[in-house]
Structure 1
Amino acid sequence: MARCLVVVVVAVDCGRERGRQVVVGRRKRGHASPIKCSTPSESNHEFHFIPGNMSTLIKHGGGAKHRLMSELQELSKEKWVNIDLVNANILRWRLGLIVVNPESAFNGGYFKAEMTFTEEYPYQPPTFRFLVPIYHPNIYPDGKLCISILHTPGEDITSGEQASERWSPLQGVESVLRSVLLLLDDPEINSPANVDAGVMYRDDRASYNKKAREIVEKSKADIPSDFVMPTTLEPPPPPKSTDDDAAFWAESDDEELDFGGSDTGEDEEAAEFDEDGEEEGVSDDDDN
């Protein structure tokens, strides 16, 4: 049985106005990905959020729905995920997860996935699965992942997972998605869900990366026409023009150049001091 990937999710109180900060990382791996503070909605009143073409989405009441509406609003500001709702149902999310890590074998991929929630959210975890095949050591053929953050709260003696490694109400959708991205970037091959992919990743990284690139290129067909893919590439600064420097010196007149010298005669006094090697009236005898 495959040992599921263990992630550590730490919730840090950022104050009532700033919400909470979540840090996702692997246990004993020293690899963490910080998530900025966000402010969950605490209102019990009607909440209207219209994401994209979901103009019919107006939900009333329900702790799970209010929590999810708040999280959806925050995630809509992020460029690495594209979220839509299935039939305007806040409990069913259809999303595109974008890999923007330039060091990842899946960089540039747009991977369709689905998350479902119950009325017990956030006290029970959501489900997550990819809707497209991804050749990866920790992804099953049906698109599901074995990852601790999606497991029900509480310690599991059978798997050896501690309660702190599993789902808790302090976590949220963003921590799940970032954990999935971490898994895509850095597979756990000691307990693979796809043994063949695990062996290839370990023994033939070049072939694995090639297959990953093929999957990335295929995924681009799923990018919506009105969606702008994010990129980590920064445009290089424009080259400095040498013509500008040449023009400066060509148009300058030597007699008009002023490098900060004083017009009060102090320059002449300084020149005399340098020429004599000492100031008038000062000698070595004075030191004695």
Structure 2
Amino acid sequence: MATEKSALLLHRQLNDLRKQGSDCFSAGLLDDNDPYIWRVTIFGPSGTLYEGGLFVAELRFPKDYPNRPPKMKFLTEIWHPNVESDGSVCISILHEPGEDKWGYERPEERWLPIHSVESIVMSVITMLSEPNPDSPANVDAAKEFRENPASFKKRVARCVRKSQEEPIWD
């Protein structure tokens, strides 16, 4: 029963996204028969180091969505303090609900069932615009961001170019 409700909710969110559209990203199902795996392309936010990039990611939803958060992973190479080297996105709203055992996040900063695909992707776009090197998933990127901004910018520029030259569509 929960699986049916979550599948219906995900289909509804997909239809809403298709109706309203977005200048910031595009999203859809990887397989029309599986509403739990989405492909998202984020257009690098203007005015940021990521501007012009086409960053493809996958969202994997649990069967008990929206009670638990999806996992998001970039398939396109991206250099960012809050993205692990394997592409996994590390932001508060994608962390399991409840108390943070490390004490870094308040419960209201973590996953809440009110979040939608749109709010998740918009949070990731904000993350691209405003890296948080104080809570890094990629320590090397965070260190370079703080200590050698010119080198960080060059690495990001390479990722942007690569995303334009070798887009991942399937």
**TM-score of the aligned structures, taking structure 2 as reference length:** 0.87
Say whether 1:193 aligns with 2:129.
Answer: no
Range with greater deviation from structure 2 (113-122 or 83-92): 83-92
Cα deviation code 1:150-207 (max 9, x no counterpart): 1111122433422211111111111111111111111111132222221221122222
Q: Indicate if the aligned counterparts of 1:149 and 1:165 stay in contact, CA closer than 8 A.
A: yes
Say whether 1:97 aligns with 2:97.
Answer: no
The alpha carbon displacement at 1:223 in A equals 6.6
- Given residue 126 of structure 2, which amino acid in structure 1 is its aligned partner? L
Where do 1:1-288 residues align within 5 Å? Answer: 62-76=4-18, 77-88=21-32, 89-101=34-46, 103-220=47-164, 221-222=166-167
Cα deviation code 1:215-235 (max 9, x no counterpart): 1111013176xxxxxxxxxxx
1:277 aligned partner: none
Q: Supply the distance in 1 between the matched residues of 2:63 and 2:134 (Cα, whole angstroms).
A: 35
Q: Secondary structure at the match of 1:217?
A: helix
1:243 aligned partner: none
Q: Supply the distance in 2 between the matched residues of 1:123 and 1:206 (Cα, whole angstroms).
A: 41
Q: Supply the distance in 2 between the matched residues of 1:68 and 1:154 (Cα, whole angstroms).
A: 23
Q: Secondary structure at the match of 1:74?
A: helix
Q: Indicate if the aligned counterparts of 1:83 and 1:94 stay in contact, CA closer than 8 A.
A: yes
Q: Indicate if the aligned counterparts of 1:86 and 1:92 stay in contact, CA closer than 8 A.
A: yes
Q: Supply the distance in 1 between the matched residues of 2:103 and 2:23 (Cα, whole angstroms).
A: 35
Q: Which runs of 5+ in 2 are unaligned?
A: none
The alpha carbon displacement at 1:68 in A equals 0.9
Higher relative contact order (CA 8 A, sep 6+): 2
Q: Supply the distance in 2 between the matched residues of 1:159 and 1:198 (Cα, whole angstroms).
A: 20
Identity %: 37
- Given residue 208 of structure 1, which amino acid in structure 2 is its aligned partner? F
Q: Secondary structure at the match of 2:69?
A: coil
- Given residue 67 of structure 1, which amino acid in structure 2 is its aligned partner? L
The alpha carbon displacement at 1:100 in A equals 3.0
- Given residue 62 of structure 1, which amino acid in structure 2 is its aligned partner? E
| Count of matched residue positions in the alignment of Structure 1 and Structure 2 | 163
- Given residue 71 of structure 1, which amino acid in structure 2 is its aligned partner? Q
Considering only CA atoms, is the larger Rg found in Structure 1 or Structure 2?
1
Cα deviation code 1:119-155 (max 9, x no counterpart): 2111111111111221111111111122110111112
The answer to which structure has the higher helix fraction is 2
Q: Which runs of 5+ in 1 are unaligned?
A: 1-60, 225-288
